[in-house]
Structure formats: C-alpha cells, structure tokens
Structure 1
C-alpha cells in the first residue's frame, strides 16, 4: 500500500503511517500531566503532533532523527493541521526508505551545479576565479554544498536548498548588474557563492535537519569566514601569487554582514556596495521563497487567507480558490 505523505493529509483523517521525528519536546500541561509535542516530517513537509498522557520512559525511547510508526487523527488547531496521536512505535531505520523522509527540492541538482559553474567560471578576476575553482574541484565540498539545506525551517529547508538559493541569487544578480556598473561584478558573484558556505558545517542533514554542536556554538557566519580563509591559502598554487588582502577583507565583510542588521545576527552592518547588494538579494530570495511556501502549503484549501504566522507577523492573502474562480467565470 502506498504511503500517505504529509501534503496529502487533511482535517479529520485517520492516520497509521511512518514519519521521521524532526523535533521532540516533553511538556507538562496546567494539571502537571506530561505530553509529547512532536514535529513529524517526510519529504513533502512537516506536521505537528501531540501525544497526551505520555511518560518519560516513552520519551527516552526515541530522539529527533529516529523514525516512528504513528496512529492518530488529524485536526485543524488555530489554523494549522496537527495529529492527535494515540500510539507510537519506534521503527528500525534500516527498514525505511530514507528518500521518503528528507525533503527534496524540485530542481535538478546537476542542472543547478552546471549553471553555478557557468556563472562563476566566467569571472574575469583571476584571484576570485581561482578561489572559486579551489572550492569546485573539491569533491567533498561539492557533495556537502549540493546536499545541504539553506535552513532548517525558514527557507529552502530541503536537500539541495542551499545550492538552489545560491544559484537563484546568482541568476538575479547576473540579470541586473548591468544596471549598476559601480558594483564590482566578480566580487558580488563570489560573495553570493560564499555568503552561506558555513552552513555546510553548521547544519547536519544526513537524516533530520539540525544544528551541529559547532553550528550552535559558533554559527555559519564565523564558520564561513574560517572556510574562506582556508581556501584562500590554496589559491597561490593556481595563480602563483598571494591572494590580495583587499579582496579578502571585502569578502569577509560580505559574509559577516549579509544578515543586514544586528538584531538578525550580523556582527557588522553592510558597508560596501557589494555587501549591501548581497544583503538585499539574499533577503529577497529568502522572503519570497518562505512566503510562497506558506501560501502553497496551507492545508485550508477553501480559505482565501493563511493562518496568522508568528514568524512573519501577518496572514498572507492566497486569493480566491481556483474552484470558486471557475464558478464565477461560468456564471458570467
């Protein structure tokens, strides 16, 4: 029997299915009774789940990254779909198909990598091109870069998401840079490529998406600067010259400032044209992707609005449902 994916669930469904545990919290209600709050995931998305009257013994039997067979029933609560669980069993991870559980991007990874190479290897600055080549000839780096998500929840949270995010920004920059001749094209393109490079080590993504210990303690901005500094030392072998200190300084600044504001984790504000451009291009792609996902994945098919989303501080207008639009057109 074919499995029921998360994006196929709707209000009132009876559930008997296997999912990956993306998050687990053991909580107590107002009466002091324990319950489990879970985030369950497959390749199509995630859904919240609760198991009432849980025990500490049960909670210790599995962790995020494990697989559960769950039974229960779906319901809409405060505008979001969730599963009220009645039973959970831990599954042997060797008896599941991993590709069913980690979210995948819709774009072809080989095609994305070909586009990334096309844009970056056409740069004219020999030092920046050599730097990029030092990354792209490293098979282990390429494996991680093409597998990593761009985030755990907020945007491009699927395998290959980091690559897709970077290539989208590169494509946008490639189309508009002719309008801004004062911006150093090669420097901006290299900064786009490297701005989130620390995420290949900040995140773990072999099973459930999570932060590594180093990712929690240091973060991808600092880790990105460290990775950059390591590769810069290797460019001398390709160019026969030391990497220009000014270029290195500007690239470091782009990495540490690309979040754009202190409250969003940037230790420095963007202070060069390329850093400012990077920040806004990065933010544009992240926001449009995240907002589009909220609209696309909203389980309330008949509503013209999404539920209020705390993370973005608003509801989003989805427009008139397609069926209703067709009825209106037929009546006109």
Structure 2
C-alpha cells in the first residue's frame, strides 16, 4: 500500500494511509466535547493528529505503538502542519511495510561504531585507554549503544542517534582541543564518550522512543556515573591495578556537569576546563542538529524563513529558495 512520508506532507492534502500511533490522549474541549490528540509517526518524522467529536469507544480501539489507518486532511495550525483525522482503524502489523517505520540505519550505525573505535584508539593515557577498552570489549553494551537514541525529542531523537551524537562530539574534541594547550585531550575525549551513556538505560529505543521506568526514576546522569564506576571496577579486576582516584573524580565530574547549569539538570556546574569545553561541545552539536531538524521540517509559506518557534524564540533562516 503506497503512502506519503510525513516529511513529504504539505498543507491541504487528503490522506488515507498508515501511521504508527506514537502517543494518544483523550481530551475535553471548553464546550465539554471530547477529542483525541494523536502523535503520528513514521520513519521520516512525526505529525500531530486531531480527531474531533471522538469518544472512549474510538480511543480504546488501538494502543500506543499500534499501526493505524487514518483518513483525514492536513492543515497548518500555529505555523505547524497537523492532520485533522476523521477515521481511525487499527491495523495488523503484517499489513504495513516495516521499512516505512524503522528509523534505525544499520549501515550508518556500523560506520559510526568503526569511527568511534578509531577515535578511542588515539588515547595514550594508560588508565583511560584501559577503561575505554573495557567498554569496547562489552558486546552487549556496544549492541545497545548502536541502537540507542540521544533524546525523545529535540536532537538525535532516533535509534542510532546517541552514537552519532557521541562521535560528532569526539570529532569536535579533535578539532578544538589542540587549539588550547591547557586542555587534556585524552580526558576530554573520554568525557565526550562517557557523557550520555546513561541514556542507553534511560530511554527505550525499540518502537516509539520513550523513557524507561529507571530513566524516569533515576535519569541518565546518575545512571552514567553508576555505569562508569562499574566499568572502572571491571578495569581494575582485569588489570590488577588500582584506577587513580583523582582521575575517577575528573571523569565523574565530566558526566555530572555536562548540562552546564543546575536548572538544565546538572547536579554540578562545570569547574574544570575540560568540563567547560565538554558542555559547550555538547550544546553545539545538539543545537545544530535540533535547528537543522526545524529547518528541514518547516512548512512556512515564506521560503526563506521558518515559522516562529516559541521554544527557541526565533525564526530560522532557511536560505534563498
């Protein structure tokens, strides 16, 4: 069954095709009428769906994560494309082409993993090298790392996104660190590798990306420090040598401070040069990925500018059309 990818939809299209129900909520409007708010997804992205004059009977016919056949029409609302849904029918997974919905690019993930190994091979500090080798020898960890997303929304929010984000940051370390002689390149490189590894356990990448129970209760920063100390213990056991306490503390600080500010979720603000650099490198890659996504998905009538986005407080320049 042919379908139009979400990323290719435009204003005023009449549709009758498959989507995945990433989320659903039954809401009540000001007049007391009920409607269903949907988050519809496919391989290319997501779109909001609205089904007016709905009730529990329709709402209960499908679950989050199900494939559904939706009829309706697209429209622009508050600068964003959405779909007004008139009919919903749950689909058997055998009725859909999984390639329309699978967002994991195995070839790209394998390429990123190869590059990760190459970048980590540049580390000359013996204790840091021994630590990263402990991670790289863990096949279960590597498999999970390749599949993990970096976020539910905003940046690199797709299976394989965490590995891509990590490699991007490590590439930036190679470019930036040599410009500043007082930065410890090995330490910063390992910090870029470690900083978000807790997201492997914080987020569920199979199906629609969402938080795990542990992710909701603990969060990726604490999970990342726990994983780090587990790997340090494995490294000590394998080598028979104690891992330097001060180096452990430096690595822990890189993980707990990488969000930069406590109001952004960092238990501690960056106080070492490497931690300050890591925070800005992380923010640079995340922001550029997020803003690029906004530009690519924008449906503004003005070809040179995106719609105004309240979350970032601006329009973005898309270039001459």
Q: Find the counterpart in structure 2 of residue 109 from structure 1.
A: 109
Instruction: Could you tell me which runs of 5 or more consecutive residues in structure 1 were left unpaired when the two chains were aligned.
Output: 322-332
Is the Cα–Cα contact under 8 Å of residues 105 and 158 in structure 1 kept in the other structure?
no
Q: Find the counterpart in structure 1 of residue 252 from structure 2.
A: 252
Rate the CA distance shift 1:228–1:98 in 2: closer, same or farther, 3 A.
farther
Is the Cα–Cα contact under 8 Å of residues 17 and 70 in structure 1 kept in the other structure?
yes
CA distance in 2, matches of 1:161, 1:94: 27
Rate the CA distance shift 1:118–1:275 in 2: closer, same or farther, 3 A.
same
Q: Find the counterpart in structure 2 of residue 317 from structure 1.
A: 317
Q: Find the counterpart in structure 2 of residue 324 from structure 1.
A: none
CA distance in 2, matches of 1:95, 1:314: 42
Query: How far off is 1:310 after superposition?
Result: 2.2
Is the Cα–Cα contact under 8 Å of residues 305 and 315 in structure 1 kept in the other structure?
yes
Structure 2 residue 192 is the aligned partner of structure 1 residue 192: yes
Between stretches 292-301 and 221-230, larger displacement belongs to: 292-301
Structure 2 residue 232 is the aligned partner of structure 1 residue 236: no
TM-score (norm 1): 0.93
Q: Find the counterpart in structure 2 of residue 48 from structure 1.
A: 48
Structure 2 matches for 1:110-125, cutoff 5 A? 110-125=110-125
Between stretches 164-173 and 174-183, larger displacement belongs to: 174-183
Structure 2 residue 16 is the aligned partner of structure 1 residue 16: yes
Query: How far off is 1:98 after superposition?
Result: 3.4
Is the Cα–Cα contact under 8 Å of residues 260 and 269 in structure 2 kept in the other structure?
yes
Q: Find the counterpart in structure 2 of residue 329 from structure 1.
A: none
CA distance in 1, matches of 2:276, 2:285: 15
Structure 2 residue 135 is the aligned partner of structure 1 residue 135: yes
Is the Cα–Cα contact under 8 Å of residues 16 and 69 in structure 1 kept in the other structure?
yes
CA distance in 2, matches of 1:151, 1:105: 17
Rate the CA distance shift 1:99–1:198 in 2: closer, same or farther, 3 A.
farther
Is the Cα–Cα contact under 8 Å of residues 120 and 132 in structure 1 kept in the other structure?
yes
Q: Find the counterpart in structure 2 of residue 74 from structure 1.
A: 74
Structure 2 residue 160 is the aligned partner of structure 1 residue 156: no
Is the Cα–Cα contact under 8 Å of residues 104 and 147 in structure 2 kept in the other structure?
no
Rate the CA distance shift 1:156–1:311 in 2: closer, same or farther, 3 A.
same
Is the Cα–Cα contact under 8 Å of residues 41 and 102 in structure 1 kept in the other structure?
no
Local SS of the residue matching 2:234: coil
CA distance in 1, matches of 2:106, 2:6: 16
CA distance in 2, matches of 1:61, 1:227: 41
Local SS of the residue matching 2:166: helix
Query: How far off is 1:299 after superposition?
Result: 2.3
Instruction: Could you tell me which runs of 5 or more consecutive residues in structure 2 were left unpaired when the two chains were aligned.
Output: none
CA distance in 2, matches of 1:319, 1:122: 38
Is the Cα–Cα contact under 8 Å of residues 34 and 53 in structure 1 kept in the other structure?
yes
TM-score (norm 2): 0.96
Q: Find the counterpart in structure 1 of residue 37 from structure 2.
A: 37
CA distance in 2, matches of 1:102, 1:157: 13
CA distance in 2, matches of 1:140, 1:301: 47
Q: Find the counterpart in structure 2 of residue 289 from structure 1.
A: 289
Deviations 1:4-46 (A, max 9, x none): 1101211111111111112212111110111011111111111
Local SS of the residue matching 2:75: strand
CA distance in 1, matches of 2:38, 2:303: 26
Between stretches 172-181 and 97-106, larger displacement belongs to: 97-106
CA distance in 2, matches of 1:98, 1:200: 24
Between stretches 42-51 and 84-93, larger displacement belongs to: 84-93
Query: How far off is 1:94 after superposition?
Result: 4.4
Q: Find the counterpart in structure 2 of residue 223 from structure 1.
A: 223
Is the Cα–Cα contact under 8 Å of residues 105 and 161 in structure 1 kept in the other structure?
no
Rate the CA distance shift 1:140–1:150 in 2: closer, same or farther, 3 A.
same
Is the Cα–Cα contact under 8 Å of residues 103 and 157 in structure 1 kept in the other structure?
no
